[in-house]
Amino acid sequence: MSEAAGDFDDEDGSGTIKKFMFLNRKAPYGTVYALEGLEVVLITAAFDQDVSMVFMDDGVYQLVKGQNTKAIAMKNFSPTYRALDGYDIEKLYVERDSLEMRGLSEDDLLVPVEVLSSAEMQVLMSDQDVVIAF
């Protein structure tokens, strides 16, 4: 077996851990991207990967407190973000400029996040092995 193939099939079956960033830039209900992205994040975490979730642009709306979808007959998936730490997904980042443009602050969000400047976001992104955008 080649060395490269070995990276994906260690003897204990755990494989290599890579840094995955999921970049969320869409509002929660107008399109299906946010919900589908969340599903993929949960699947990735099940493979014991190093997962970071980033919320930028309209993606910050996914984390707004007080969502109630009863009257539009869609699933309110916002409580799922609070369950992420149960899947060992603890790295949630929000870009400060995206919040401010939308008149929002950290207090408006339903989970604890780390608020980053765009410069800090650049460093975090560059440090990843894989970036997947929704």
Partner 1 sequence: MLHIVNKSPFENTALASCLRVASKGGDNALLLIEDGVYAITKNSDAGKAVQAVMGGIKVYALMPDVEARGMQDRVLEGISMVDYAGFVDLVIEHNNVQSWL
Question: What are 80's two structure tokens?
Answer: 């799922």
Residues 54-93: x where in contact with partner 1 by CB under 8 A, - otherwise, as a string: ---xx--x--xxxxxxxxx-x-x-x---------------
Cα 127 to Cα 5, 50, 57, 120: the distances in Å are: 23, 12, 21, 11
Residues 86-125: x where in contact with partner 1 by CB under 8 A, - otherwise, as a string: ---------------xxxx---x-----------------
Least separation in angstroms between residue 120's CB and partner 1 is: 21
Please give the residue ranges that form the binding site for partner 1 (CB under 8 A): 27-30, 57-58, 61, 64-72, 74, 76, 78, 101-104, 108
